Amino acid sequence: MDYQFLKVEHNEGVTVLKISAPKSLNALNSTILRELDHCVDHLDGTRVLIITGDGEKSFVAGADISEMVHLNQEQGREFGRLGAQVFRKVELLPMPVIAAVNGFALGGGCELAMACDIRIASSKAKFGQPEVGLGIIPGFSGTYRLPKLIGQGYAKEMIYTGKVIRADEALRIGLVNAVYEPDELMAAAIEMARKMVANASIAIGLAKRSINEGYDLDADAAIALENDLFGQCFSTADQKEGMDAFLNKRKPHFTNS
């Protein structure tokens, strides 16, 4: 499918998805959200997904205020539900998702980055949930994910004040994993993705499921879930291949089966 606001490139199991709406600094409108929804449903052959923004200034500058300004209560609820559902779909993808945050990640942009498994950032990136300055709250699950990532106290400060933080501060509080110079960001994302592609995709998917589903469970339930998923690994050809390769001191050749 040809997208109006997305650029998608596939290369040896790695898909790079760029949000491209330069006039609005890649702000999310309903069309972009629906295109994202379609795209994440059609990632055949993708073993790692990288999401980034097109251009040098912005990852995603937020949701499109020009679309939101005239919404009534029910329309606002539906717009929020659309964004939340798409981001939840990103979060539940069976493959790793890396956010390469190349610039502004504000509002919906910060929320999209948080729906990804791993966030790395350009030194010029800026993060924030400034919605209260517009008379609204984060609407694409920001009040849920931000406290889980950085703790309630700092999340409440960011959301209540609408403060925007730089990449080095995002790194300090654990919102991102690493910070790179702008011209090194995508190379770093690709390198990380390649390391993931070299491992067993089914095992990575099961590990992701164990982390995501186990996070909100009590300890006994989370450990039981992990034990079940650990057992499932032994039904795969990749487990046999990986262990045989280890014992015979050779490089494994995983087939995702």
d(CA 186, CA 154): 29
DSSP assignments along 162-187, one per residue = --EEEHHHHHHTTS-SEEE-GGGHHH
Q: How far is CA 175 from CA 107, 109, 189, in A?
A: 14, 13, 16
d(CA 36, CA 6): 8
Runs of H (alpha helix) within the chain: 30-40, 65-68, 73-91, 108-115, 142-150, 152-161, 167-172, 185-197, 201-214, 219-233, 237-247
Point out the catalytic residue in the list 35, 56, 111, 181: 111
Point out the catalytic residue in the list 35, 67, 131, 226: 131
Q: What is the DSSP letter of 55?
A: S
56 labelled catalytic:
no
- Cβ atoms within 10 Å, residue 117: 20
131 labelled catalytic:
yes
* Tokens 């406290």 sit on residue: 147
Give the catalytic positions in this structure: 111, 131
